[in-house]
């Protein structure tokens, strides 16, 4: 590295209401899936770090749970994670949907960003769903709410506009260290990502309150390189006996389907064959228990 071109790095937070596409955008930027997605709000529960290398630099993206007015201890943990990720960063990416004008949820997030005093780039996602006049009205409406450093319309799903976003982030990087090796895309352990992949399948296959009362914990993760195999046992925690019956399904059909869907994605992620066993356990009101939240990593 020459003196004229020092290595640059910086932290960038993706923040916004639930279900605006933050995790989809992170996965698109990284070119690999590390954050789970679904069409249900509050899918993301933890801060997820994504490492993106650029010429002579490194951007550390933090995907956050959707900011909302929390009800219950688990939701408070999620919102606290998102708010904490808005400090000590170079820039915040405030994601909104192109399909809706500013609402109370957006105002709530903006007020948090204003208190943090960090530069904010407005990222308008899902532009593939609207016409140009509608997009212009949306930009005008949001621009009246805050003085953004830049406005970037894009589609996290197709990738249209993502390169422009990276160019807007570039000026915020400053001389700094390479925090992680070039071949790393996250600091998350494989066990965490595998557990999240199982939870994603549950989020996508269940309805109403069930997906919000589910947590997944990896009990065993045994590598058998001589067989090109990883043996995984995962425990699915639910809050009610009726939820367990639904997840197990008639004659065990639902749990088999969940296992099959999860195994296919986990094999793609790990690059090896996987033997996956899923178990379901009832822990009544675990999401309101300080002890259970600690055991499940929500602290």
Burial of 41 from C-beta contacts in 10 A (0-12 / 13-18 / 19+): middle
- CATH topology agreement for domains 8-175 and 190-295: no
- List the chain domain ranges: 8-175, 190-295
Match domain 8-175 to its CATH number in 3.90.1150.10, 3.30.470.20, 3.40.50.1360, 3.40.50.300.
3.40.50.300
In this prediction, residue 4 carries a pLDDT of 64
The domain defined by 190-295 folds into GMP Synthetase; Chain A, domain 3 (3.30.300)
240 token code pair:
């009610």
In this prediction, residue 3 carries a pLDDT of 54
In this prediction, residue 57 carries a pLDDT of 94
Each residue's pLDDT expressed in tens, for the chain with a length of 299 residues:
445 679 999 999 999 999 999 999 999 999 999 999 999 988 999 999 999 999 889 999 999 999 998 889 999 999 999 999 999 999 999 999 999 999 999 999 999 999 998 999 999 999 999 999 999 999 999 999 999 999 999 999 999 999 999 999 999 999 999 999 999 999 999 999 999 999 999 999 999 889 999 999 999 999 999 999 999 999 999 999 999 999 999 999 999 999 999 999 999 999 999 999 999 999 999 999 999 999 999 97
Contacts of 62 (CB under 8 A, 6+ apart): 11, 12, 13, 14, 47, 48, 49, 50, 85, 89
**Residue 56 dihedral angles phi and psi, to the nearest 5°:** 60, 30
How far apart CA 59 and CA 10 sit, in angstroms, is: 5
Nearest CA-CA partner of 138 in 151, 157, 119, 121? 151
């Amino acid at each position: 590295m020459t003196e004229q071109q020092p290595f640059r790095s910086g932290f960038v937070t993706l923040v916004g209401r639930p279900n605006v596409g933050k995790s989809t955008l992170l996965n698109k930027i990284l070119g690999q899936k590390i954050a789970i997605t679904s069409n249900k709000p509050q899918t993301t529960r933890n801060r997820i770090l994504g490492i993106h290398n650029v010429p002579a630099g490194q951007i550390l993206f933090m995907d956050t749970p959707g900011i909302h007015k929390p009800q219950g201890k688990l939701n408070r943990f999620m919102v606290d994670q998102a708010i904490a990720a808005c400090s000590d960063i170079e820039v915040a990416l405030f994601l909104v949907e192109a399909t809706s004008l500013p609402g109370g949820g957006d105002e709530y997030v903006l007020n948090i960003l204003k208190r943090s005093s960090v530069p904010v780039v407005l990222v308008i996602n899902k532009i593939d769903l609207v016409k140009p006049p509608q997009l212009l009205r949306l930009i005008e409406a949001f621009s009246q709410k805050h003085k953004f450093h830049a406005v970037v319309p894009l589609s996290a799903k197709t990738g249209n506009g993502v390169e422009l976003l990276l160019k807007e982030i570039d000026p915020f990087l400053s001389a700094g260290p390479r925090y992680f090796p070039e071949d790393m895309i996250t600091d998350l352990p494989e066990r965490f990502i595998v557990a999240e992949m199982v939870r994603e399948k549950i989020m996508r296959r269940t309805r109403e309150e069930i997906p919000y009362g589910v947590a997944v914990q990896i009990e065993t993760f045994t590598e058998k390189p001589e067989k090109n195999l990883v043996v995984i046992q995962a425990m699915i925690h639910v809050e009610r006996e009726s939820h367990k019956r639904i997840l197990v399904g008639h004659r065990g059909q639902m749990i088999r389907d969940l296992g099959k869907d999860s195994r296919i994605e986990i094999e793609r992620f790990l690059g090896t064959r996987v033997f996956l066993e899923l178990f379901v356990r009832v822990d009544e009101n675990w999401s309101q228990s300080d002890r259970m939240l600690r055991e499940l990593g929500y602290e």
